Amino acid sequence: MLNPTEPLVIRSVVELQRWSDETRAAGRRIALVPTMGALHEGHLSLVQHGYRHADRVVVSIFVNPTQFGPTEDFARYPRDLVRDLESLRKVGSDAVFAPSVEEIYPNGDATWVNVERLTATLCGRSRPNHFRGVTTVVARLLHAARPHVALFGEKDYQQLAVIRRMARDLCFGVEIIGAPIVREPDGLAMSSRNVFLSPRARQQATALNAALHEARALVRAGVREAGAVVAIARQRIEKEPLAELDYVELVDAENLEPVREVRGRVLLALAVRFEGTRLIDNTLLEAP
């Protein structure tokens, strides 16, 4: 059941661990929803999913500097804790963890968490240290919140796969749950970065979902060759003058390795820049 009251705002790891220990001692299950703030309906759907798997939900709001490259948008990434708290009141949240950078990365810290192989493809090629930052911060958040389950959106499918592998390999004892992509009425996947799009770029960005739709239709029509599926998706995106392709790839849904044909469950993943704003999207394909 959702909690309609004001969420408890927690700033320190010690305080969050105390809250978690008390919640567990009372026999309650905890769900963690890690975010970087600038909350939208996609994030709020994760909170709602959290209450289906747990009694208490804690949302972390932390713009993680270690997952941004030197030329990326860390400095201008949207930050508005007051607005985020107001959004969380609408769906309920028991606690919000909003730490400082120094709280997560104390002076002199020297420990990183790195998952190999899964991070070498897709976004990992153009953002070489991105996933090291993601896995390190998520590991620290899991230790701080001590949840039974943690929820992540399937829009960041590679991130979800990497975190699942990390949690399994390091025996975190936390169930990692993926939640479906939430889209705008025109099909654009919800993202905090959408606010950076100009009206023209925003309209052209709908090509990502259109490309996925055309690829799904091709597979339903019986096409299995990966090159053909990738080609039709690329062609749809390249029709847009502002689109700068990072990648369009068809990979195995489990190990993220490239595939030659649609056999079993495969992932069609896209990354495209519009006027410097990088958007990602994906869909799972399966031969009928």
In the residue annotation, 49 being an active-site residue is answered as no
CB within 8 Å of 271: residues ≥ 6 apart: 122, 123, 126, 245, 246, 247, 278, 279, 280
How large is the average pLDDT for residues 129-146?
Answer: 98
Is the CATH number of domain 8-179 3.40.50.620?
yes
- Low-confidence winner among 56-60, 72-76, 123-127, 244-248 (lowest mean pLDDT): 72-76
> What per-residue confidence (pLDDT) applies to 4?
56
The ranges assigned to domains in the chain are 8-179, 192-283
Q: What letters, b where the CB count within 10 A reaches 16 and e where it falls short, cover 196-215?
A: bbeeebbebbebbbbbbeeb
**CB burial of residue 249 (10 Å; 0-12, 13-18, 19+):** buried
Percent share of the chain, pLDDT over 70: 98
Answer whether 8-179 and 192-283 agree in fold. no
Does position 174 have pLDDT exceeding 50, yes or no?
Answer: yes
Mean model confidence pLDDT for the chain: 96
Q: Which of 43, 49, 130, 148 is catalytic?
A: 43
CB neighbour list of residue 36: distance below 8 Å, 6 or more residues apart? 61, 62, 63, 64, 77, 192
**What is the per-residue pLDDT across 71-95, written as a single tens digit (0 to 9) for each?**
898 999 999 999 999 999 989 899 9
- What is the side-by-side strand order in the sheet with 175-179? 8-10, 95-97, 56-61, 30-35, 149-153, 175-179
Topology of the domain comprising 192-283: Pantoate--beta-alanine Ligase; Chain: A,domain 2 (3.30.1300)
CA distance linking residue 262 with residue 216, whole number of Å: 11
* Phi and psi angles of residue 211, each rounded to the nearest 5 degrees, phi first: -65, -40
In three-state secondary structure terms, 9 is strand
